[in-house]
Amino acid sequence: MEVSGNTEKKEEAVKVKAIEATAESFKEYGQVIDASADGQEFGPNDAQLDLSRGIPRFYIMHLENRPLKFRKITHHARVTQCLGSIGGHVWYLGVAKPSIVESKEIKGDAGTDTVQSRCGHFYVPPAVHEVRVFRISGPKFLKLNRGTWHAGPLFKEDNMDFYNLELSNTNVVDHTKHNFSKENGVIFTIYD
């Protein structure tokens, strides 16, 4: 199909096997938080949050029709984010490591892959081969490190509700997207 002299690109499907999110498997992207005994003091197994750049927002997010595929991925440069399904139902999250570049690290090279977000910070776009998918099941939630790329939550049901902790204006002033379909010609599909 031709549109204005340009040939429409066909997306290549990249199949990614979901792996269970555990403290060890997810450590490069954030934390998996499991239940702990009441009265236990704060420690390394608790979410290590950075909510210092605004007003925290904790809410229930209702999502519908989020099948196990994605073309776009997002990161938040100013905040950690926590996500967990209400009821401990199985869900999936595509991720890539944080790639925020501090402005003092940016060089004047014409060949650099560094991009400036509309939010003001600099980053290197995530690479197709670095995308991983995690399966999250049971009564636990994920804490995403600041800058972790994420696609989802995704799930097999028609709809699900999630706890979400971020800042009150995260999706307005701190929402950077990378479109794998447009930039890389791929769509990710998930299998167990």
Structure confidence at residue 106 (pLDDT): 63
Per-residue model confidence (pLDDT) at position 141 = 96
pTM: 0.90
Give the list of residues 6+ apart from residue 130 with CB closer than 8 angstroms, or none: 96, 97
pLDDT in tens, 127-179: 999 999 999 999 999 999 999 999 999 999 999 999 999 999 999 999 999 99
Q: What pLDDT does 186 receive? A: 97
- Residue 78, classed as helix, strand or coil, is coil
Contact 90, 136 (CB under 8 A): yes
pLDDT < 50 stretches in the chain: 1-7, 110-111
Give CA–CA dist 157/155, Å, rounded.
6
* Terminal Cα-to-Cα distance of the chain (whole angstroms): 34
- Position 6 scores a pLDDT of 43
- With the CA atoms of 69, 165, 161 and 181 taken in that order, what torsion angle do they form, in degrees rounded to the nearest 10? -20
Q: What is the pLDDT of residue 2?
A: 34
Q: Max Cα separation, the chain?
A: 66
CB-CB contact of 91 with 152 (8 Å): yes
CB atoms < 10 A from the CB of 172, how many?
A: 9
- Specify whether the CB–CB gap between 99 and 149 falls below 8 A: yes
